[in-house]
Amino acid sequence: MASKNKTRIIAALALLLIFAGWTWLIYKIPPTEIVVFLGTENSYILVFALAFLGGTSILFPFPYYLVVFTLAAGELNPIYLAILAGTGVMLGDSTSYLVGYTGREILSKNFAEGLNKIYNWIIKKPKWVMPIFLYFYSFLIPFPNDLVVVPLGLARYPYLKAIIPLWAGNISFNLAVAFAGFYGVHFLGI
């Protein structure tokens, strides 16, 4: 139990350090200079790639939305950023779905037991509930999509019925982040 708490504390501290480092970077180097340094096309590719890694949070937990915010503050198109980031996360989530779909053999016993609870919840709900839940989960809940995608794979929930609402929710979330960066930084005069 102590080992689990240490892991959680280390993960929380790592995320806090990433956030603090990113905040310092934006303070020292204006977002427009970051975009000029990276180049417009490279910036869009970077967002897609980092969002993909962020979507594979089972393997590479990464707060890619900080990059979306920063590049939008650097005056890149928020709509393009949202579509690319949402698509990258969706493709990353697909790997998590595959992990669930391939079975419990590769998951720990405790993790599989937790997923069973989610699976039992899923199969008891009407068909229209899941797409709405998935959209709002990926749009409003600040947890990795893996918490629902892996159990959906385990439950053999149809891939497209799961991934399309998640994709739409991810695009909506990233659109909100991008517009916050685009208008927020200018509003604050940074």
pLDDT of residue 190: 59
Spatial neighbors of 18 by CB under 8 A, at least 6 apart, are 63, 66
pTM above 0.85, yes or no: no
Confidence bin at 48 (pLDDT 50/70/90): very high
pLDDT of 22 above 90: no
Find out whether 22 and 73 touch, Cβ atoms under 8 Å.
Answer: no
Report, as an integer, the average pLDDT of 184-189: 72
pLDDT of 1 above 60: no
Tokens 């695009």 belong to 171
Report, as an integer, the average pLDDT of 139-166: 88
pLDDT of 95 above 60: yes
pLDDT of residue 104: 65
Query: 97-141, pLDDT tens digit by residue?
Result: 998 888 766 666 777 777 677 777 777 888 888 899 999 999 998
Report, as an integer, the average pLDDT of 56-76: 83
Query: Long-range contacts of range 100-108, CB-CB < 8 Å, 24 or more positions apart?
Result: 100/149, 100/150, 100/151, 100/152, 100/153, 100/154, 100/155, 101/153, 101/154, 101/156, 102/153, 103/154, 104/154, 107/150
Listed residue (187, 186, 185, 189) closest to 66, CA to CA: 185
The first and second tokens of residue 155, run together, are 């439950």
Q: How far apart are CA 120 and CA 116, in angstroms?
A: 6
pLDDT of residue 7: 74
pLDDT of 153 above 80: yes
Mean of pLDDT over the chain: 84
